[in-house]
Amino acid sequence: MMHVLVFGQTGQVATALAQQTCADITITCLGRDRADLTDPAACAAIIAQTHADVVINAAAYTAVDRAESEPDLARAINATAPAAMARACAARKIPFLHISTDYVFGGSGSRPWQVDDPTGPLGIYGQTKLAGEDAVRAAAGAHVILRTSWVFSAHGANFVKTMLRLGAMRPDINVVADQHGGPTAADDIAAALISIARAFHTGRGISGTYHFSGSPNVSWAGFARTIFASAGIDCAVQDIPTSAYPTPAARPANSRLDCSALARDYAIAQPDWQGSLRHVLQSLQGERQ
C-alpha cells in the first residue's frame, strides 16, 4: 500500500488527485483548514509527523494578475512553503512532487521549451514559482518538479468553463491568438503524478525537473474554437493580438513545452487534450442534469 499526502484540496489538480482511487493507494488531501501554506513551519511539521510514502504539493497561489499587487503572499505560498516542505521530505527521506508552470519561461520564440532552457519569468507569479523550484532542488532530497500549462477541468475556475459561460451568452467573442501552448487536463496531471509516485515507491524514481502538457499545441483562440465545437455552442471566435487584451501581468507568448524527458524517464506520454476536453464536457453535462 502506498500512502500519498497531498497539500491542496479544492484546486483543480488536488481535486483530480482525490479521485485517483486505486486499491493499493490511499490519498489524503489537506485543505487550508489543516495546512496553511502561509505558515511554512506548520506545513513542515505535518510532513515530519506523517507516515506518507510520497508528498505532493498541489497547492499554489495562481492568481497571475493579482500576484502583481500581492508579491509577498505569492512568494510565501509559491516559494517559502514548498522550500519548507521539500526540506521536511528530505529529512524523512521521502520523495516530494511539486507542480510548477510554463510561466517560469520568458515566452520568446516558437520552439517548445526544454527542461534545461534558461528561465526568465515575466511577472511575480512566474518569479515566485521559479523561486519555489530552486528551493525544492536546494533541499537535495528525492523530488520531481513537474511543469505544466493551461490547466483545465470540470472543477474550479479555468478557460474551458469561462468559454462555456461566455459562449452561451454571446454570438461572438474575442480571444487572443498569438499565445500558444498545450492545454492540460487536471485529470491527466493527477494520473502522471501518481505514476511518478509509484515509480519512487518501487525504487524506480528519478529526481529532476520535467515538463507535462497536452498535445497538440494550440493558440487560446484555437482552443476556444475547439471548446465551442465540442460543446455544440454557436459562438464565433474573433482572433485578437495580446496587445488588444492588456492585463496587469504579462503572459508568455510561447508556452509550448518539450515533454520528451518525462516520456524517456517515466514512460509518460503527452495526453491528447481534445480527448480530455470531451471527458470534461461530459462531466459538466452530467452535473447539469
For the annotated catalytic residues, the residue numbers are 125
Rounded to an integer, what distance in angstroms lies between the CA atom of residue 23 and that of residue 2?
A: 10
Beta strands in 108-230 (DSSP E): 143-148, 151-152, 172-176, 180-181, 184-185, 208-211, 218-219
Rounded to an integer, what distance in angstroms lies between the CA atom of residue 234 and that of residue 125?
A: 35
Rounded to an integer, what distance in angstroms lies between the CA atom of residue 86 and that of residue 97?
A: 9
Rounded to an integer, what distance in angstroms lies between the CA atom of residue 232 and that of residue 119?
A: 39
Which grid coordinates are listed for 128? 515566485
Rounded to an integer, what distance in angstroms lies between the CA atom of residue 103 and that of residue 122?
A: 7
